[in-house]
Amino acid sequence: MKAESKVFVVTGGGNGIGRELVLALLSKGARVAAVDISEKGLLETVELAGSHKDRLSTHVVNIADRAAVDALPDAVLAVHKTVDGLINCAGIIQKFVKFKDLPMSEVDRMINVNFYGTVNMTKAFLPHLMNRPEAHIVNVSSMGGFLPVPGQALYGASKAAVKLFTEALYAEMMGTNVHVTIVFPGAIQTNIAANSGAMMTLASDAAKTSSIKMTPPHTAAEVIVNGMENNSFRVLIGNDSKMMDFLVRLQPKRAVKIIADQMASLLK
């Protein structure tokens, strides 16, 4: 589905990939409802939108709050009159510790934001999308959703849930007007760790000992929008995601060991 003249709801629009998605869609002539828990972040996105800000609305919502999400479609429709696309990009990582040391409060937080947040948004907007001539749902999982990362067990589990949920949704929407895309970013140059209250910037620390470069968020957004416009089923972002996606299919045990060895020094 082409972005021009369409209306998109984008979660995580106050920072990182989500913000870059908002800006990329606006640059293609779309209207965007940016959703984030941070009002400050959304205001910064508005400033960055420049001359396109007249096609942008902002909505401060905690996507883990089902009641707040259920009220969101009416707020978006009041501004934009319709909705053609939903991009679930918002996500958080856990504290970088082994599962045995992870408080249950963190477990709940991972599942509530990363998985239920995606489910809540999809449930709220799907009826509206199904009434459009053409519509699209893009859910952002993670390389950690198909490859286990020690120290991020619950983050990975939540993103694996997003993966399977999205693939099932794709199957259910086959033959309808609603396209569905699942996205697997590798290491991205964002401040997700700081925004999540995480103890370490996992991707940055891992990259220091890796020959694979992290992908800038604006590049990630460009890849996602291109994938959407081409109605892609799966979108892999970064050479790390592409390489490990191949390896985990070919030699899953070896792939797990490679990541475990990579993370070992960070878990001491």
Q: Which residues are catalytic?
A: 155
The residue among 72 and 212 whose pLDDT is bigger is 72
Whether residue 66 is predicted with pLDDT greater than 60 in this model: the reply is yes
Segment 100-143, tens digit of pLDDT:
999 999 999 999 999 999 999 999 999 999 999 999 999 999 99
In a domain, 168, yes or no: yes
In a domain, 145, yes or no: yes
Contact between 44 and 93 under an 8 Å Cβ cutoff? The reply is: no
From the number of C-beta atoms within 10 Å of its C-beta (0-12, 13-18, 19+), residue 38 rates as: middle
In this structure, what CATH number is given to the domain that contains residue 179? 3.40.50.720
Quickly tell me which residue has 């191949």 as its tokens. 246
Beta bridge partners of 188: 215
pLDDT value of residue 212: 57
Segment 144-202, tens digit of pLDDT:
999 999 999 999 999 999 999 999 999 999 999 999 999 999 988 766 555 444 433 44
Rounded CA-CA distance 230/214 in Å is 24
Give the residue-averaged pLDDT of 253-263.
89
How many Cα atoms sit within 13 Å of 127 on the Cβ side? 7
Domain that holds residue 222: 7-267
Whether residue 83 is predicted with pLDDT greater than 60 in this model: the reply is yes
In a domain, 2, yes or no: no
In a domain, 1, yes or no: no
Region for 181 from its dihedrals, namely left if φ exceeds 0, alpha if ψ lies in -120 to 50, beta otherwise: beta
pLDDT value of residue 191: 62
Count the domains in the chain: 1
In a domain, 129, yes or no: yes
Rounded CA-CA distance 142/162 in Å is 9
CA pseudo-torsion sign 80, 220, 44, 205: positive
Give the residue-averaged pLDDT of 17-25.
98
